[in-house]
Each structure stands twice: as C-alpha cells, then as structure tokens.
Amino acid sequence: MKIIDIYKQFKELKKEITVIGRVRSNRQGKAVSFLVLDDGTYAKDLQIVYKPETKGFNEFLETRVGAIVSIKGLIVETPNRPQPFEISASEVLLLDNCAEEYPLQKKEHTMEYLREIPQLRARAKTFQSTFRIRSAASFAIHEYFVKNNFVYVHTPIITENDAEGAGEAFVVTTRKDAKYDQDFFGKKASLTVSGQLNAEALAQAFNSVYTFGPTFRAENSHTNRHASEFWMVEPELAFSDLNDDIQVIEGLIKHVIKYVLENNLEDLKYCESFYEEGLVDRLSKISNDNFEKVTYTEAIDILIKASKKVKFEESKIEFGIDLATEHERYICEKHFKKPVFVTDYPKEIKSFYMKLNDDGKTVAATDLLVPGIGELVGGSQREDSYDNLIKRCNELKINPEDLKWYIDLRKFGYFKSAGFGLGFERLVMYLTGAKNIRDVIPFPRTPKNLLF
C-alpha cells in the first residue's frame, strides 16, 4: 500500500498490510525499535515499531537512513501520541541498503547545500511537499480551463519569433559560425520566450485556448524570482477585452488555491511550518476575497503620496516610469495588502501587441501584483487594428515583415482578443511561501547555474 492510502483508511484497515518505502530514521533499541518510513506520497511519514522477535530482525540490523525496505504489519491506533496510528510490524525486510555517505542524513541542511544536489533533494520533506503542490496546482490549472471550455494547445518550443521583442531568446543552432541561413532550419531559430503569438492564432480557431509549457529567457536577472527556464500558463480569449481577461486571471488563481487547500492541506501545513507562519490562513483569505484593481496612473499617485513617508531607492516617481520591484511591493503589500491588478500602463514601457487605449498614451494591459512576490501575471487586450500594430512595430524597431503572419490575423476576421501569462513557478512560490524560485522547480536553471 501507499502511505497516503494508509493515512486515508487507517481506521478501517484491520488486516495486515505491506508497504515499501525509504527509511528516514531507524532507531534500534534492546526491546523495541522505531522506524520512520517515507514513500513520497504524503506529507506525513509512517511510524513503524518492530522488535527482536519480528521476522527478519537480524538481517535488518544494518539498515541505514535512505535504505529501501518492505514492512508487513498491523495498524495500531495511538490516540495519545502525535501520530494517530503506527504499524506494529510482523516482518521487516531490507530490500536495498543505502551507502553511509548518503548526503541526506537526519540533520537539517541549508537550502544552498540542497540546491547543489537537485537529484536527491526532492526526497527531503520541504521539497516533497513543494513538488506535490506543484503537481496539484498544475492539475488544477487544467481543470479550471477544461471546466471553462478552453482548448489546451501546444505551442512550439523552437520558434522564429521573439514574442516579447526583448531580445532575450536563447539561439538554437547546429552551427559554430552563426551562419543561420545555412543552419538547420535555414534561418535563425530560438527557444520560445512565450507561446502567446502562436496561441493568439489558435484562439481565432477555438475561441478560448491556453498553452502551459516551458519558456526560456536569457535575461541576466539575479533575483529570487527569475529563472532562465520557467513554465508559463498562457490563455488567449477571442472576442474578449481586458476586463474578461482580469476575470479569468482571478478565477484561475482562486480555483488553484481552493484545489490545493482541499487536496494538499498536509503539504501546505508542512510548508507553513518551514516557510511561512499563517500560510494556510493567508491562502484561504485570498481565495475568498476580491482582488483590487487600480490604474497605473492611480498607482503612481499612491506612490507619490507614499514617498513623503517612505524612502524608495528609485525616488523618481512620475507617469512613464517602469515600476520597480519596491514600488510594486509597496502597492500590494503595504497599501492594499492583497493582490492588485494594475492596468493601463504607458505604451512606452509595454509590448508592441498591446491595445492602445483611446487616450493614445496608455495600453489595455494589466500586471497582477501579489504580496511577497510582486508580478505574478502579465496580460493585455491585444491590438486589433492592423494599422496601429504596424505603427507600433515601427516605433519599437520591430520589422513588421518578420511578423506578417501574426499581423495579418487582423485581416482575416478578427474581433477583440485578450490573454495573459502566469509564471507558474511564481504561483508555486505564492502557494508554498517558498522564498526562492530555485526551490520550486526540481532542476532550476539560472545564470551560471545548470546542474544535470
């Protein structure tokens, strides 16, 4: 049996069970011995009691932390102990011992040390809980979209477009000389920074679509919220505007939070004990409370007022600036103390594909800022005017010819479209309270860091 099922059914399980798992600790005593077993399925370990007369005892004496063992026994309820039951073993069997130099001994390790051994750290409780929550959140995302009639589309990983136009793409080549016209695809190819442009094309075929896959950015950001390879959820809604977009963002995040609260409570409690006091309460509150909404212009006013009392490193605050992390955090953490949609940014600081508002100065874009993280989502209504799109490309020195296929979508029957990108690792940080993006993805990739 798996440990999660034993926990679910222990009150009814009257017959002998067999469980295979990895030893977390093995404390052998003269009269009784205690074994703590983990099989990766649940946030709680299995407590096992065995004795010298237990079958297999003598062959079990060398069993070390990390070994794989098989245990047969009966469930005994233990209402007066921290754990509700334990297994009274009738047979203990060492299946494969673990070398003495096993790096994950009982003592606590620093997160820095654990990052050096990504092939093993997933066995540690914090990472098990985090990655199970990651798995559950990923399922909940699919569930939300399926329930809302979105089609899951797979946009390409190798692409010829740099959707964000920020020049942060990793080049894909088989040549040493950068002669891309003679390269594998006969042109310059790169790893995708966003599936958006392809998803936009598909939204015109299916109304609402989403892509959820890995994206790659060669940006030299050394923060705890940037990874060079991260997963992004990118829905695209045809016939929709920015307000529809905002509703989906809020609906999606609340759905995921509710799902993990319901299905991964023990994992969340473990994360609460390790990362963040009050985590479970925080999540319950977010899932039941409305997110805030302000325009960029209002946010600037709030920051100007605040700057009379608080000192910002970036002290020049006026319409047109790109909000710095400290500004974003002030808005959501100090001012509103909840998730905040900031909308209608100046066009100069946003991407070419965002719809120009009637004021001619701002675009119908939104960033969702959340306490502890900052930007969790970036989205917008897409520019639907063919002429405006060409104009914006030219202003931003993007050759419209390179994006003809995309811009031409506006000619072949096109009505409002909106979408967003949610950084999945940042969502997992938000759900678990993890402080570093490198601890929410099993094998993280960041500048100067690529292990296995």
Contacting residues toward ligand 4AD, per CB under 6 A = 163-164, 194, 196, 217, 219, 226-227, 230, 232, 234, 375-379, 419-421, 423, 425-426
Alpha-carbon distances, residue 436 vs 189, 286, 321, 376, 440 (angstroms): 31, 21, 27, 14, 7
Closer to ligand 4AD at the Cβ: 45 or 234? Answer: 234
Distance in Å, CB of 410 to ligand 4AD, minimum:
17
Q: List 208's β-bridge partners, or say none.
A: 237
Q: Is 423 exposed, middle or buried (0-12, 13-18, 19+ CB in 10 A)?
A: buried
Distance in Å, CB of 444 to ligand 4AD, minimum:
10
Reading the block at residue 360, the tokens are 């001619």
Distance in Å, CB of 371 to Mg ion, minimum:
18
Rounded Cα distance between 93 and 115, Å, is 32
The residue with its CB nearest to ligand 4AD is 423
Closer to ligand 4AD at the Cβ: 73 or 421? Answer: 421
226 touches, from Mg ion, ligand 4AD, none (C-beta below 5 to 8 Å by class) = ligand 4AD
Distance in Å, CB of 371 to ligand 4AD, minimum:
14
407 touches, from ligand 4AD, Mg ion, none (C-beta below 5 to 8 Å by class) = none
266 touches, from Mg ion, ligand 4AD, none (C-beta below 5 to 8 Å by class) = none
Distance in Å, CB of 353 to ligand 4AD, minimum:
8
SS3 of 424, please? helix
293, 246 in Cβ contact below 8 A?
Answer: yes
Distance in Å, CB of 92 to ligand 4AD, minimum:
45
- Residues making contact with Mg ion (CB under 5 A): 378
Closer to ligand 4AD at the Cβ: 224 or 263? Answer: 224
Reading the block at residue 370, the tokens are 């959340």
Closer to Mg ion at the Cβ: 378 or 433? Answer: 378
Distance in Å, CB of 393 to ligand 4AD, minimum:
16
Quote the Cα angle for 242-377-310, to 5°: 105
Count of C-beta atoms within a 10 Å radius of residue 243: 14
307, 316 in Cβ contact below 8 A?
Answer: no
176, 199 in Cβ contact below 8 A?
Answer: no
Distance in Å, CB of 193 to ligand 4AD, minimum:
6
What single-letter amino acid sits at 188?
K
Closer to ligand 4AD at the Cβ: 44 or 217? Answer: 217
Closer to ligand 4AD at the Cβ: 124 or 232? Answer: 232
Half-sphere exposure of 290 (CA within 13 A, CB side): 5
Closer to Mg ion at the Cβ: 26 or 161? Answer: 161
Greatest Cα pair distance in the chain:
84
In the sheet with 374-381, reading across from the earlier edge strand, the strands are 151-152, 208-216, 229-238, 417-423, 374-381, 362-370, 340-346, 292-295
Which residues neighbour 345 within 8 Å (Cβ) at sequence distance 6 or greater?
A: 296, 362, 363, 365, 367
Closer to ligand 4AD at the Cβ: 109 or 445? Answer: 445
421 touches, from ligand 4AD, Mg ion, none (C-beta below 5 to 8 Å by class) = ligand 4AD
Residue 306 backbone phi and psi in degrees, to 5: -65, -35
Rounded Cα distance between 137 and 269, Å, is 16
Rounded Cα distance between 141 and 233, Å, is 8
Distance in Å, CB of 79 to ligand 4AD, minimum:
45
Reading the block at residue 445, the tokens are 């990739």
Closer to ligand 4AD at the Cβ: 40 or 442? Answer: 442
Distance in Å, CB of 365 to Mg ion, minimum:
9
217 touches, from ligand 4AD, Mg ion, none (C-beta below 5 to 8 Å by class) = ligand 4AD
Closer to ligand 4AD at the Cβ: 87 or 354? Answer: 354
Reading the block at residue 409, the tokens are 């979508």
163 touches, from Mg ion, ligand 4AD, none (C-beta below 5 to 8 Å by class) = ligand 4AD
